[in-house]
Structure 1
Amino acid sequence: MAFIVTVPWITACNAEKNTQNVAAGGTEPRALTLRQAVNIEQLATFDEPWAMQWLPDGRLLVTERRGQLQLFNPVNKAKILIQGTPEVAYGGQGGLGDVLLHPDFAQNHQIYLSYAEAGQGGYGAAIAKATLDIKESRPALKDLTVIWRQVPKVSGQGHYAHKMLFGADGKLWVSSGERQKFDPAQDLQSNLGKILRLNEDGTPASGNPFQGKGDVAKQIWTLGHRNPLGLAFNAKQQLWTVEMGPKGGDELNQVLRAENYGYPIVSNGDHYDGTAILDHSTRPEFQAPAISWTPVISPSSLIFYQGHQFPHWKDKALIGGLSSEAIIIADVERQPAQEIQRLKMNQRIRDLIEGADGSIWVLEDGKRANLLKLTAK
């Protein structure tokens, strides 16, 4: 049963006593005097959900890490399990990940799924394309075909990233984590630790900057990333990513063609074993983050709000936070960009999506995680 609660806005200065948000220029965020309330409606629960995507008919696709793809109807709260999902390597951070509609979904009914798979050498992310048949009583995926894989497969089950996004030009953008292996993020013969620009069939898109560096390099748009778990275009069609740093140094970055973001050579955090990493300021040849957070926010997702229910969020970046248990709001139009507000949710936040009415839909993280709808009070 749905219920309504109200939650106060938390300004950037008093969101957490030990939280610092330092922009690239080193300035502290300006506190907002605005204090409002938001209605939160609990609509459903899911088992370790990871991502969600609207269908044109107003229903919602929700992935669950163990390999389930759920079809959720917000009107009657019904959930239907979609058959035919790929076998996933569940464990660690692995499992079923992102879900994305083809730009021509209304005509071809094609969707994309990212997930972790096992294979020679260990584990890696993959992307499959399939036709979604929801006309039958048992909705199913048909003609499932793998179109892209992380290379190489490596041991361990962390830092897949595997977020997906279509641009206005019809190209498929993919965030690929460095899989906790550090050096591949700087290696053009690996697509780990990169932002990739592909055709809809998974092949490298023309115009990518490293065409002469080998077959894998042809996929690459930017390099030197750690674990980019948010990927979104703003209203100006600028691409942004938010990624987890090591021990400190979470980052919000504008994704600029051919740029190197420096990991693991530079970071505003350090390795978990205490080994220091050079700060971005020491190596200006690497692209510095627009915003860096220490202590971390553990970003999980990113959208740019375009609705009207929350006019003070218009064109702002909304970031889901895991360890921070918050929705972090950042203004990328400021110079330098900075966090301007934080909504404390008291639960790990896995994904965000905007509703057609300007509401914000929120997926919590973990078992029996809530799907929430945020509306203006």
Structure 2
Amino acid sequence: MSNAFRLTLTCGLFVSASLAQAQAPQPSRRDVADTYASLCANCHGPKLQGALGPNLVDDTWKSGADDESIARSIREGQLAAGMPAFSGSLSPQDIRALVIYIREQGEERRSQATPFAKPAADKAVRSELHAFKLETVTEGLDTPWSVAFLPDGRMLVTEKAGRLRVVEKGRLLPEPIAGTPDVWSKGQGGLLDVAVHPDSAKNGWIYLSYSDPGANDSAMTAIVRGKLREGRFVEQQTLFRAPAELYRTAGVHFGSRFVFDGKGHLFFSIGERGHKEDAQDLSRPNGKVHRIHEDGRIPKDNPFAGREGAVASIWSYGNRNPQGLARHPVTGELWETEHGPRGGDELNRIEPGRNYGWPVITYGMNYDGTPMTDRTAQEGMQQPVVHWTPSIAVSAADFYTGSRFPQWKNDLFVGALAQQEVRRLRIEGGKVVQQEVLFKDVGRVRDVVSGPDGYLYIAFNDPDRIARLVPAPAVKPASGKAQGAAKP
């Protein structure tokens, strides 16, 4: 393969061997790194840095930098420029995997060359719009998963192992809340999201999502609500629990986040539990975003309510592992962040009854480097507003509604686990018009929450802590240029 989209050099020595290889179809389930090494490295170098052919990771393209232009050049070739066609030796899935591989390698090269901000309590950094510090609020937690605030200012934190903790005036209370549900704390399962009812000052309701243990070491995401009284979770009500026969034994993809819409409804997400085909099956709850009344009843206007065989709470489907839900404070639109496989993390605007495509369409491939599908779009399936390929391991998301960072008002803040970053996204007219990496490599970001005090709160794993962004005076390094966060 040569970079025909910008190729000006001739790889004559490479062409004859490649044409010979192209005569016989090749296996489609092979590691993309092996595909590149056998067909591409001789011309473009083992690290894509260029050899007989040009560099593939320097962001210089002559015949189109979009995915389809790259795929077309691999598929059809450009013999005059020394590039053979590989449609006879590579399946469409293999070609798609090579495009993802080029994207991954290019992003890794850019990341290595980009200085990212690493704020701390004693180190202010400057983003595009605001300078800030990162202050630790509390430590001593064990894999914190979610953060929510009570009306009196206390903070609730879920720990994956099944404990609901309380932070009061920056101090983690030693005893967890008693009486919370038993959880299946294996793999990605455990005690997941916590949310406080918008009118909890009057009604006291607290909502929890968790991996509910079933028979034969199975589990499924379940939803309960209850009230806090003298250190206990009381008056517990089950709002959603799947039938026992629908529980899955995989240890992955539970979701799960909550959003209230201010109209008496609660949205929540469930991942497809490692059974990707379930995301397209309306008779199963996994791989979906759901909507119920705040007391667990099914709204009559849900898109699949009344349809025979369909789970009545489903709001959208074809969702792989949604770990972020947020409601736009102005438009009321529901936004979702979703883990893809290797590549294809998504930001979606969730609308009722829509199919978001997983696993029929995706911008990613299998974790082992083998191709999954060449289809990134199909009629009747929604496109993501943004996809992150390579994957950032996107986690939670929240819109900033405070006043301490006025230029961030109504921007969406997104966390990432593997890439250990927080991104700021500006959304206008249903589109992301700007992205900025605020900071990177200070811990895996599990939750991002706009706090009632105007600060932005972050739940970190490795190391486990809750921290917050606080305003700081503008910082200027010795060069005289403001120390800034990086654009992706």
Please classify the TM superposition score into its range, dividing by the shorter chain length. Answer: 0.7 to 0.9
CA 335–301 in structure 1, closer or farther in 2 if over 3 Å, else same: closer
In structure 2, which of residues 344, 367, 387 is the aligned counterpart of residue 249 of structure 1?
A: 344
Look up the SS of the partner of 2:278 in the other structure. Answer: helix
Partner of 1:284: 379
- Taking the TM superposition and a 5 Å limit, the aligned residue runs for 1:334-345 are 336-345=431-440
Partner of 1:359: 455
Q: Does 1:191 align with 2:275?
A: no
Partners of 2:444 and 2:191 in 1: how far apart?
Answer: 18
Partner of 1:147: 239
In structure 2, which of residues 466, 470, 475 is the aligned counterpart of residue 375 of structure 1?
A: 470
Partners of 2:372 and 2:398 in 1: how far apart?
Answer: 32
For 2:384, give the aligned amino acid: P
Look up the SS of the partner of 1:85 in the other structure. Answer: coil
For 1:154, give the aligned amino acid: R
Partner of 2:137: 43
Q: Does 1:222 align with 2:338?
A: no
- Taking the TM superposition and a 5 Å limit, the aligned residue runs for 1:66-105 are 66-75=161-170, 78-105=173-200
Partners of 2:309 and 2:151 in 1: how far apart?
Answer: 36
- Taking the TM superposition and a 5 Å limit, the aligned residue runs for 1:269-348 are 269-273=364-368, 274-281=370-377, 283-333=378-428, 336-346=431-441, 347-348=443-444
Partner of 2:257: 163
Q: Going by fraction, where is helix more abundant, 1 or 2?
A: 2
Partner of 2:357: 262
Number of aligned positions between the proteins: 347
Partner of 2:486: none
CA 76–271 in structure 1, closer or farther in 2 if over 3 Å, else same: closer
C-alpha distance after superposition, 1:79-106 (max 9, x if no partner): 5421111111111001111111233322
Partner of 2:325: 231
**Partners of 2:166 and 2:172 within 8 A in 1:** no
C-alpha distance after superposition, 1:341-361 (max 9, x if no partner): 002231100111112232111
For 1:74, give the aligned amino acid: K
Partners of 1:65 and 1:289 in 2: how far apart?
Answer: 29
Partners of 2:252 and 2:363 in 1: how far apart?
Answer: 21
More relative contact order in 1 or in 2 (CA 8 Å, sep 6+)?
Answer: 1
Q: Which has the larger radius of gyration?
A: 2
Partners of 2:130 and 2:460 in 1: how far apart?
Answer: 22
Partner of 1:112: 207
C-alpha distance after superposition, 1:114-168 (max 9, x if no partner): 11122136111111121211xx3xx111122322124510111110002112111
Partner of 1:8: none
For 2:239, give the aligned amino acid: I
Q: Does 1:208 align with 2:302?
A: yes
Look up the SS of the partner of 1:81 in the other structure. Answer: coil
Q: Which moved more, 1:153-162 or 1:69-78?
A: 69-78
Q: Does 1:182 align with 2:285?
A: no
Segments of structure 1 that go 5 or more residues without pairing to the other structure are 1-13, 20-31
Look up the SS of the partner of 1:183 in the other structure. Answer: helix
Partners of 1:275 and 1:15 in 2: how far apart?
Answer: 19
Partners of 2:258 and 2:359 in 1: how far apart?
Answer: 23
**Partners of 1:72 and 1:80 within 8 A in 2:** no
Partner of 2:39: none
Q: Which moved more, 1:292-301 or 1:144-153?
A: 144-153
Partners of 1:376 and 1:15 in 2: how far apart?
Answer: 30
Residue 71 of structure 1 deviates from its aligned partner by: 0.9
For 2:347, give the aligned amino acid: L
Partner of 1:26: none
CA RMSD, Structure 1 to Structure 2 (Å): 2.3
Q: TM-score, normalised on structure 2? A: 0.67
Partner of 2:157: 62
**Partners of 1:265 and 1:278 within 8 A in 2:** no
Residue 313 of structure 1 deviates from its aligned partner by: 1.8
For 1:260, give the aligned amino acid: N
Q: Going by fraction, where is strand more abundant, 1 or 2?
A: 1
Segments of structure 2 that go 5 or more residues without pairing to the other structure are 1-105, 112-125, 473-488
Partners of 2:434 and 2:345 in 1: how far apart?
Answer: 13
C-alpha distance after superposition, 1:226-270 (max 9, x if no partner): 000000001211000000011101000000111100000001111
Q: State percent identity of aligned pairs.
A: 34
Look up the SS of the partner of 1:185 in the other structure. Answer: helix
For 2:186, give the aligned amino acid: G
CA 193–340 in structure 1, closer or farther in 2 if over 3 Å, else same: same
C-alpha distance after superposition, 1:24-54 (max 9, x if no partner): xxxxxxxx99375311111211111100100
Q: Which moved more, 1:146-155 or 1:179-188?
A: 146-155
Partner of 2:475: none
Q: TM-score, normalised on structure 1? A: 0.86
C-alpha distance after superposition, 1:8-32 (max 9, x if no partner): xxxxxx997446xxxxxxxxxxxx9
